[in-house]
Structure formats: C-alpha cells, structure tokens
Amino acid sequence: MITAATAALAPEPMPGSGSGVTADDTVTVSWADFKAWEHQLTTCTHPVRLRGRIDAIDLATGETAPVYNTDTEHGGVLHVACGNRRETACPACSAVYKRDARQLVRAGLAGGKGIPESIAVHPCVFATLTAPSFGPVHARRMRGKTVLPCRPRRDANTRRCPHGRDISCPTRHVEADPRLGQPMCPDCYDYQAAVLFNAYAGDLWRRFITYLPRHLARLAGLTQKAFYEQVRIRFVKVAEYQARGVVHFHAVIRLDAPGDDFWPPRLSYVPSLLCDAIRQAVAAVSLVVEHGDQAVTLTFGAQADARPVGRDTIVATGQPLSSDAVANYIAKYATKTLAVPGVPDTRIRHAAEIPGLRCSAHYRAMITTAWQLGGNRHDPRSGSGRTCSATAATSLPSPAATRSPSASSAPPASATAAPSATPTANATLGEGPWTRPSS
C-alpha cells in the first residue's frame, strides 16, 4: 500500500480532495490502483472522464450480464486520452498521432504494414502546392544553405508602393524573426482573397486531383479510359499554414498498376512524367467564387514544387528525397499548428473578442476579414450565428464550425482531403493512409 497527500491527478477532484481537505489529510491508494490510473492517464493533458457500464444481452432470452462497470476503476471513472492531434492542445496525444502518421506514410513509400517492399520502386513524387501572392510579405529566402536578402530593391521607383510605403527589405531573416509572413504594406495586402483562398483551398485541391489523371493521360498519349486501365494514382497529403497565415499543401503522389496488390505501373511512367503532369494540373486549376456583388478567381501559386521520392538523402532542391525524410516531414505537419503568439486555440464567438487578441496586426486583420465575410448571407459558407476559428482565420465563420483544409492520408490504398474544424494541419485517415482520386 502507498499513502500520498491528496492531489488531484485529473481535472475533476477525486473523493477526499477539495477545498475542505488539509495538507494533513491523506488518501490511501493501492499500488494496483495507482498503476491502473497511470495506465489510463498516460501523459494526456486533458483526459476524458467516463462513467457507465457495458452489459451483454442475450438476443434469444433477453437476459443481460454485466461486462464492465467504471465503478471498478479508482475513483469510479475511466480516464481516456483526449486524442487531440494538435501539439499546442495535447503534446502526448499529438506525439502518438505523429508516430502513427509517420508509419503509415512510410509504409506507402518503402513497404511494411502489409505492403511489399517493392513499392519503393514505384514512381513517386513529393509535391508542394502553395497559395498565390496576396501582397509583398517578409520571407526567409534560401539558396541551398545560404540565406538570401528578403526583398532587395535597388531601383528607388520600385521600392515604394502606391501608398508610399517602402516595400524593400535587405534583411537576411532568421527563422524566429517575428516579421516573417507580415505584409510590408497592409493596405496593399488582399486580405479578402487570402481568407477566401483558405476557405476554398479544399475545393482547389479536389480540382487538382481531378485534373491530374487527365494531364498524365495526355502526356502519356492515352485516352482517359486507356489510362485508367494501366495506372492508378494514390496520394497522401497534409495542409500546413505558412507564416503569412495562408494554407499550402504537401502531398506524396504515387503511381500503381490497377488493383490492390501493389504492382508497379508500366516502365513508361517515370517520375519526371508525373512531375510534369503535376505542374500542368496545378496551372490549370481555378475556381471562381461569387461573394457578395463581386467574383473572385482563386488559383494556386505559380511556384508548384514537384520532386521525385527516392532512396537518396535530402540535398538541394530538385534532387530525389528519401522515403524516411518525406514520412517525417508529412508526420511533422500532420500535428503542427500555426505557432502565432497571442492567437487563441479556442473559437471566437463575438466580434468584441477580436480587438483584444494579443497578436500581430496582420493576423488580427485576417480574423477580422473572415468575420466580416462570414456575415454575408449570400455566401454558401456563411451563416447568421457566427463563430470563427482564430488561428489565421482559416475560413469563413459558419453557424457551427469553421472548416479549413486538412490533410488527406492513406496506405497504398485510400483517404480523402476533408476540411477540418480545427486550424491544424491534420491527416485524416480513411480506409488507409493513401487514397486515389475517383475515376
């Protein structure tokens, strides 16, 4: 037996603890109870406390028999991990999710989990789809390992924007520079287009994954029917917030032969062909959004990056990437949030909360714009009772939830990109971590 001074190990005080208990009061806990409680809690920050029972019912006689009752647990409750995949909300559950995501992604790149190791020879590309520019912002530009000046401008005529502000920056920013992602001229920055891009990023991705087989078939000189008789496209993706508060996608796209036995496609389908098809599909994607009395055309940015995934180590841009490095990269962003000081993780339910946010003026402007756009009843994604996800104002406020693009994942077999109500870059596992577009 062990005896310990009363201390609440869960959000709710245990019997025998509370304001009326002094430091001299003790609770006797058996070692078995302590280990059982420790096993329940693990290291979850916000465990869910469950009370109840499970009974088995004989369908023939209607007789019931008890199977489990939380009364047998210490304190009469069962503690279950919250399962939150955001690092800022629960580091322990986020770490579990990250490890799971890494294994699923790696299995689709190098084999394992029931997938043959021969999957490593399939054509596979790591693609990054970014948002277009909504105005000049501070950025950390790299050439190899060399940090370049942010936005050098030698010509005095190009250093001033129409509002008279200097939009040049010779600084070589460090990674922790708080100016990264901040607009050089807030009046030039198109906040409405940025918020609408976040709101419709999931639709842009769905159009991309619809166009990709068409462009790949055209480059291969085949009709779409003949193409689907030879190749299946499978992918896993994750959405990440850039420092400017705008979504971009990382995706691993792989080619297989038809069927679920993971045979490689024909030798004519090489990674370079897939890279070309990805770039063409990205350039072809556009979406016209009717918002209020104006139409906004949304597209991906011109800087679509597509690199083959191989067994080589990561080197400079344009070189093959290792499967381990790509799996780690995807898993990292599957649980990452936009780390912005002063931006709360909880929803904003009243406009009066926005001015009190202790974040930069840029993020406050993003959130304000999302709130204002959400008040337009003509937009299909807005409503009268508004709430707003605070982190970078990922989308328009809606009556119940603010939807933002999340990650779609899957093992060489399936998963779709579905928006999530959290401002995280999440991987949503479907039938497996790898999915294929519908034909």
Output the pLDDT for position 174.
Answer: 93
Rounded CA gap, 11 and 188, in Å?
47
What percent of the chain is predicted at pLDDT more than 70? 70
Rounded CA gap, 370 and 350, in Å?
13
pLDDT tens digits along 124-183? 999 999 999 999 999 999 998 899 999 988 776 678 888 889 899 999 999 889 899 999
pLDDT tens digits along 255-278? 999 988 899 999 999 999 999 999
Q: By the 8 A CB rule, do 114 and 135 touch?
A: no
111 — pLDDT class (breaks 50, 70, 90): confident
**What's the pTM value of the predicted model, to 2 decimals?**
0.72
Q: By the 8 A CB rule, do 6 and 27 touch?
A: yes
Rounded CA gap, 355 and 270, in Å?
53
Output the pLDDT for position 196.
Answer: 94
Q: By the 8 A CB rule, do 33 and 75 touch?
A: no
Rounded CA gap, 87 and 105, in Å?
19
Output the pLDDT for position 337.
Answer: 58
429 — pLDDT class (breaks 50, 70, 90): very low
* Strand, coil or helix: 371: helix
Residues 6 or more apart whose Cβ sits within 8 Å of residue 314: 321, 322, 325
pLDDT tens digits along 1-19? 333 333 333 344 444 444 4
Output the pLDDT for position 438.
Answer: 56
pLDDT tens digits along 204-253? 999 999 999 999 999 999 999 999 999 999 999 888 888 899 999 999 99
Rounded CA gap, 402 and 395, in Å?
6
Identify the weakest region by mean pLDDT among 22-36, 59-73, 367-381. 22-36
Rounded CA gap, 425 and 247, in Å?
9
> Integer distance in angstroms from the first to the last C-alpha of the chain?
64
Residues 6 or more apart whose Cβ sits within 8 Å of residue 248: 128, 129, 130, 131, 239, 240, 242, 301
Output the pLDDT for position 341.
Answer: 58
41 — pLDDT class (breaks 50, 70, 90): low
Does 27 score more than 70 pLDDT?
Answer: no
Output the pLDDT for position 365.
Answer: 93
Over the chain, what is the mean pLDDT? 76
21 — pLDDT class (breaks 50, 70, 90): very low
pLDDT tens digits along 313-338? 333 344 566 777 787 777 777 666 55
Q: Which long-range contacts (CB under 8 A, 24 or more apart) does 371-375 make?
A: 371/397, 373/192, 373/195, 373/196, 373/291, 374/398
Helix, strand, coil: what percent of the chain each, to 5? 30, 20, 50
Residues 6 or more apart whose Cβ sits within 8 Å of residue 342: 357, 358, 359, 360, 363
Identify the weakest region by mean pLDDT among 16-25, 43-52, 187-196. 16-25
Residue 427 phi/psi, 5° resolution? -105, 115
Does 380 score more than 50 pLDDT?
Answer: no
Task: Give me the torsion for CA of 267, 273, 275, 278, rounded to 10°.
Answer: -110
pLDDT tens digits along 61-93? 989 999 999 888 878 888 888 888 877 788 888
Residues 6 or more apart whose Cβ sits within 8 Å of residue 280: 215, 219
Tell me, what amino acid is at 312? D
**Per-domain boundaries in the chain:** 2-80, 91-134+190-339+405-428, 137-180
409 — pLDDT class (breaks 50, 70, 90): very low
Output the pLDDT for position 12.
Answer: 43
Output the pLDDT for position 87.
Answer: 78
Of 260, 216, 224, the closest CA to residue 434 belongs to: 260
Place of tokens 């609408």: 196
